[in-house]
Amino acid sequence: MPSLLLGIDIGTTGSKALLLEEDGAVRARATSEYPMHTPQPLWAEQEPQDWWSATVKSVQAVLSAGSNPSSIAAVGLTGQMHGLVLLDARGASLRRCIMWNDQRTARECADITREVTLPRLLRLTGNPVLPGFTAPKILWVRKNEPELYRRIRKILLPKDYVRFRLTGAYAGDVSDCSGTSLFDVGRRQWSRDMLEALGIPGSWLPDVFESSEVSGTLGPEAARLTGLPEGLPVVAGAGDQAAQAIGTGIVREGTVSATIGTSGVVFAASSSYRIEPEGRLHAFCHAVPGTWHLMGVMLSAGGSVRWYRDTLGREEIAQAASEGRDPYELLIQEAAAVPAGAEGLLFLPYLTGERTPYPNPHARGVMFGLTVRHTKPHLTRAVLEGVTYGLRDSLSLMRGLGIAPHQVRASGGGARSPVWRQIMADIFGTEITTVNSEEGAAYGAGLLAGVGAGLYRDAAQACTRTVRETESCTPGPNTLHYEKLYPRYRALYAALEREFEAMALTVAARTA
């Protein structure tokens, strides 16, 4: 009986193929990169054909590691969300994909919000409409590329274009479609009201499946190119954050993940459909049928620490290079000797603006409370604490909606540091754990493929059999001190919000 699983992740920088055994062990992995195009400032585009070529190359690479293709039970897909792929009547791509990080649609977002109203948007889609989402990009194309717009027959998200090339099916999944501003997240179906309000034909949209359902089978041309067997089931899969959550075992309410990459993501499974009243949290369908998830995103989590390392950590970078060590390790080791709270030093981590809980592109970083007593280790600890306070902002919003986390699973670069994990436990007031899986969304896609193929009963069983906790720490004596400092951190944004806006206008006038 086939017992291998193939997860494919169409990421922002490359297509990753991951071959898993039924017990979760990784048999082989491969990533093939592709470029990002920025034809104008704030624009971001990619060629769908590049995704397909890279996917073929990555799949061929994992198969060349010696695995028998006939041992693969199913394929699962995941990838970057929100991107706009436009196809004509023959299934040919009409233009480059407008990506999740493209910022050209601010005017369209304002138009949609004015037309539909924010309360109705939240009721219908669970989220405010943002420049990264799919619907405003469709309106931008209608306004700016009318000839091309008239040729549209299908709209797909990035991973679903690869599915189309694998199977010939126009299909998507509930979690990924939740980020389009066209999806009724509560009912887990396309929103007729949104389509009518925006004048978008429903026939353009793909069929929608639950994440562990089979959405099609591998066609003959895809089989010839990849080396996979024709007829192989291709499971619907999930958007990258939902798949990442499956890969770290976030399948039931009460367990939350905090992922610290360049950005920071706090992700909570929810057994019911909940909406944050002001839209400060994303509310999407989860990859587990009948469940949803809440998600907060801060823009400069690990990015703040990297900025700090590159700007003020030159000595540590040089020392690390000579000793064969990680400069982050040296910086954090020095910060460990500093008392919790960095002796009154607070850092606001808004180096590239912020999203949760303040959707403000003009927010800026602040180091507050500096005195002559403070040294570099104080600054380092303040940065780590400031990022963690920012993640707690999302956790606090979730708690306000009735999510009661008993554990936070940490992943990403920040989770590698025991010092930072303890800071997280103390500031969050919860147990912090790490897990054995470090393969990201592709791992979750592979597990979803296993559910679709019948190797696991459901996502919960898949995680029980493959995802294991590795390290754990609990809140310590510093927790009470951080409880007193957190309101001071929160008060700084409110005190400075007008100044952020004024400074942005001043800078814009100076550079105009």
pLDDT digits (tens, 9 = 90+) for 113-167: 999 999 999 999 999 999 889 999 999 999 999 999 999 999 999 999 999 999 9
Q: Is residue 332 part of a domain?
A: yes
Q: Is residue 443 part of a domain?
A: no
Integer angstrom CA distances of residue 47 from 8, 37, 153, 318, 420: 18, 9, 18, 39, 39
pLDDT for residue 396 is more than 80 = yes
pLDDT for residue 511 is more than 80 = no
Residue 134 near residue 83 (C-beta atoms within 8 A): yes
Do 179 and 39 sit in the same domain of this protein? yes
The pLDDT of residue 512 is 63
Residue 46 near residue 35 (C-beta atoms within 8 A): yes
Q: 273-321, pLDDT tens digit by residue? A: 999 999 999 999 999 999 999 999 998 999 999 999 999 999 999 999 9
Q: 183-199, pLDDT tens digit by residue? A: 999 999 999 999 999 99
Amino acid at 83: G
pLDDT for residue 2 is more than 80 = no
Pairing outcome for strands 4-10 and 72-79: parallel
Percent of the chain at pLDDT above 70?
100
Please state which of the ranges 26-30, 163-167, 187-191, 357-361 shows the lowest mean pLDDT.
Answer: 357-361
Q: Is residue 40 part of a domain?
A: yes
The domain boundary, picked from 180, 213, 248, lies at 248
Do 243 and 323 sit in the same domain of this protein? no
CA gap 74, 474 in Å, rounded: 39
Largest CA distance in the chain: 70
CA gap 450, 378 in Å, rounded: 48
The pLDDT of residue 22 is 95
Non-local (6+) Cβ contacts of 360 within 8 A are 350, 353, 354, 497, 500
CATH number for the domain that contains residue 391: 3.30.420.40
The pLDDT of residue 28 is 95
- The mean per-residue pLDDT over the stretch 437-453 comes to 94
Q: Which helix (H) or strand (E) holds 172?
A: strand 171-173
Structural domain for 9, as ranges: 4-248
- The mean per-residue pLDDT over the stretch 208-219 comes to 98
Amino acid at 394: S
The pLDDT of residue 64 is 93
**pLDDT grade for 338, boundaries at 50, 70 and 90:** very high
Do 308 and 234 sit in the same domain of this protein? no
The pLDDT of residue 42 is 85
The pLDDT of residue 135 is 98
Do 90 and 20 sit in the same domain of this protein? yes
- Helices in 404-440 by DSSP H: which ranges? 418-428
The pLDDT of residue 437 is 85
Look at the block and give the residue holding tokens 């998600």.
295
Q: Is residue 76 part of a domain?
A: yes
- Cα dihedral 44/49/54/57 (nearest 10): -170
The pLDDT of residue 1 is 62
The domain boundary, picked from 248, 282, 310, lies at 248
Cα angle 377, 378, 383 (rounded to 5 degrees) comes to 95
Domain count for the chain: 2
**pLDDT grade for 3, boundaries at 50, 70 and 90:** confident
Residue 171 near residue 155 (C-beta atoms within 8 A): no
Q: Output the DSSP codes for 451-485.
A: HHHTSSSSHHHHHHHH--EEEEE---TTHHHHHHH
Q: What are the catalytic residues?
A: 240
For every residue of 298-329, which 3-state class applies, written as one string? Answer: ECCCHHHHHHHHHHHCHHHHHHHHHHCCCHHH
The domain boundary, picked from 213, 248, 283, lies at 248
Q: In whole numbers, what is the pLDDT of the chain averaged over residues?
A: 95
- The mean per-residue pLDDT over the stretch 342-358 comes to 94
Do 243 and 308 sit in the same domain of this protein? no
Cα angle 228, 238, 410 (rounded to 5 degrees) comes to 110
- The mean per-residue pLDDT over the stretch 101-123 comes to 94
Look at the block and give the residue holding tokens 């679903």.
160
- The mean per-residue pLDDT over the stretch 73-94 comes to 97
**pLDDT grade for 440, boundaries at 50, 70 and 90:** confident
**pLDDT grade for 359, boundaries at 50, 70 and 90:** confident
CA gap 284, 125 in Å, rounded: 8
Pairing outcome for strands 292-298 and 282-285: antiparallel
Do 241 and 307 sit in the same domain of this protein? no
Do 491 and 360 sit in the same domain of this protein? yes
- The mean per-residue pLDDT over the stretch 493-511 comes to 91
- Give the neighbor-by-neighbor strand order of the sheet with 214-217: 26-33, 14-20, 4-10, 72-79, 233-239, 214-217
Q: Which helix (H) or strand (E) holds 79?
A: strand 72-79
Q: Is residue 442 part of a domain?
A: no
Do 216 and 323 sit in the same domain of this protein? no
Residue 382 near residue 346 (C-beta atoms within 8 A): yes
* pTM of the entire predicted model: 0.92
Do 207 and 356 sit in the same domain of this protein? no
Cα angle 177, 183, 188 (rounded to 5 degrees) comes to 85
Q: Output the DSSP codes for 348-371.
A: E--BTBB-SS--BTT---EEES--
Q: Two tokens at 344?
A: 């009154």
- Helices in 126-256 by DSSP H: which ranges? 134-144, 146-149, 158-167, 174-177, 192-198, 220-226, 240-247
Q: Is residue 270 part of a domain?
A: no
Q: 314-335, pLDDT tens digit by residue? A: 999 999 999 999 999 999 999 9
CA gap 44, 13 in Å, rounded: 12
